[in-house]
Amino acid sequence: MPSPYRALFAAPGSKSFSAAGLLGRMPLSMMGIGVVTMISQLTGRYGLAGALSATIALAAAAMGPQVSRLVDLHGQRRVLRPVTLFALTAAGGLLLAAHFGWPDWVLFACAAGIGSVPSIGAMIRARWAALYGGTPQLHTAYSLESVVDEICFIFGPIISIGLSTVWFPEAGPLLAACFLTAGVFWLTSQRATEPRPHPREQHSGGSALRSAGLQVLVATFVATGAIFGAVDVVTVAFAEEQGHKGAASVVLALYAAGSCLAGAVFGLLHFKGAAEGRWLLGICAMAVSMIPLLLVGNLPFLAVALFVAGLSIAPTMITTMSLIEQHVPRAKLTEGMTWVSTGLAVGVALGSSVAGWVIDSAGAKAGYGVPAVSGAVAVAVGFLGYRRLSRPVLQRGGSHEHRSEREERHVA
């Protein structure tokens, strides 16, 4: 491991909470695809399988920020353990309902309950921010976390699909639940690195989403999430049209591998100047990288195109996390990070749904128009909101205070 990454783990407890975060994040890439595989195998109803996966994603989008807001208010241990137990109970109910053929409404109720799974990535990034806030090491830490995210998305679906198809249908979601249990309870047992809660600051100022800069980031990442959701669905359909459906997992793994590689390199670099300029450049790069997909004619070309497209993902996500720290009061940092994940989740649900409709109507190749259009929307939102991003808030306790406002008072 290069020395900047090795230096991160000089802080006591950092290795343990990072390892716990890896375990706890695996369900992010395993649960949805595991449910799809399980339901399609047990019932043969792909429509039901997709609807349940979308229910989990939308429920997570609705509940995730609220759970993170409670974490900022009361601390990780007090909130994560009961919330995780609730999500595990719902997951167990879904497995039993699917196995014994219970009514569909039970499946949907349990799927909605699984959406209460906490955003472990936000919890780990909040711990890094508590350790290295305001130092160059935080950029490296956020880069490391983006690499960990991509590792989960490279191996999680392969493990989940493989277990459910080779062992028994419920195996993928069951292992995801085991990872969640181990990760959360290991993480919350580590009290020394847990960020200090901010009950007083949380009661003032309302939600983190009141920040104009955060609103721009979330809106942009709804469109970005639509890119991800559409690419996943269309790639599976394209591989099936080519007669190699199983190759879709390898092609999508290369997409994540490109992001993983770029994130690792990006973490070794140190930048000067405003982060919002790099962020906008990253959004534009993501949009442009979707254009070659419109020209794909075979799976090898698609694999290369997606690997190249993945190179812009992690650097953009890393810069986004840095911008959140600038635009959200420290007392609401976990909530702010989760709002961006929420935007992504909503976008994934929208992108996959629209892509499925386009595939049914015009074929898989035409489906790549959905991520191309989504990328254009992301660029448009980014340019329109750029001025809001250029006015970061000053971190003074838990309060919002814009730089320009402080300067005005200083002049006065």
Task: Give the model confidence (pLDDT) of 137-185 as tens digits.
Answer: 888 888 888 888 878 877 887 788 778 878 888 988 999 999 999 999 9
Dihedral angle sign, alpha carbons of residues 199, 201, 206, 208: negative
Q: Are 100 and 160 found together in one domain? A: yes
Q: Tokens 């219970």 appear where? A: 102
d(CA 146, CA 152): 10
d(CA 157, CA 249): 8
Q: Is residue 3 part of a domain?
A: no
Answer yes or no: is pLDDT of 346 > 50: yes
Which residue among 146, 172, 197 closes a domain? 197
Q: Is residue 7 part of a domain?
A: no
**Contact criterion met (CB below 8 Å) for 128 and 11:** no
| 134 torsion bin: left (phi>0), alpha (psi -120 to 50), beta (else) | left
pLDDT at 398: 42
Q: Is residue 133 part of a domain?
A: yes
Q: Are 160 and 288 found together in one domain? A: no
pLDDT at 406: 31
Instruction: State the pLDDT confidence band at 205, using cuts at 50, 70 and 90.
Output: low
Max CA distance (Å), the chain:
72
Q: Is residue 4 part of a domain?
A: no
Q: Are 129 and 211 found together in one domain? A: no
d(CA 373, CA 375): 5
Q: Is residue 5 part of a domain?
A: no
pLDDT at 341: 79
Q: Is residue 80 part of a domain?
A: yes
Residue of higher predicted confidence among 257 and 157: 257
Q: Is residue 9 part of a domain?
A: no
Q: Tokens 């993902």 appear where? A: 313
Of the candidate ranges 92-101, 298-307, 397-406, the one whose mean pLDDT is the lowest: 397-406
d(CA 60, CA 111): 10
Q: Is residue 275 part of a domain?
A: yes
The whole domain housing 160 covers 17-197
Q: Are 43 and 91 found together in one domain? A: yes
Q: Are 107 and 26 found together in one domain? A: yes
d(CA 146, CA 18): 12
Q: Are 193 and 213 found together in one domain? A: no
d(CA 264, CA 46): 37
Instruction: Give CA separation, 154 vs 12, 180, 255, 291, 314, in Å.
Output: 29, 18, 9, 23, 14
Q: Are 193 and 243 found together in one domain? A: no
Domains: count for the chain: 2
pLDDT at 100: 92
For the chain, the residue count is: 412
Q: Are 193 and 211 found together in one domain? A: no
**193: which 2 tokens?**
């690195």
pLDDT digits (tens, 9 = 90+) for 20-42: 999 998 888 788 778 877 887 88
Q: Are 140 and 275 found together in one domain? A: no
Q: Are 193 and 209 found together in one domain? A: no
Of the candidate ranges 88-92, 171-175, 277-281, 346-350, the one whose mean pLDDT is the lowest: 346-350
Instruction: State the pLDDT confidence band at 392, using cuts at 50, 70 and 90.
Output: low
Which residue among 137, 165, 197 closes a domain? 197
Q: What is the mean pLDDT of the chain?
A: 83
Q: Tokens 């449910």 appear where? A: 35
Of the candidate ranges 253-262, 327-336, 392-401, the one whose mean pLDDT is the lowest: 392-401
CATH of the domain at 356: 1.20.1250.20
Residue of higher predicted confidence among 399 and 70: 70
Q: Are 176 and 252 found together in one domain? A: no
Which residue among 197, 215, 247 closes a domain? 197
Q: Are 82 and 106 found together in one domain? A: yes
**Contact criterion met (CB below 8 Å) for 302 and 296:** yes
Closest CA to 142 of 122, 162, 115, 170: 122
pLDDT > 90: percent of the chain: 28
Enter the pTM of the model.
0.76
Of the candidate ranges 59-73, 99-113, 333-347, the one whose mean pLDDT is the lowest: 333-347
Residue 396, phi then psi, degrees to nearest 5: -130, 90
Give the count of beta carbons closer than 10 Å to the beta carbon of residue 64: 23
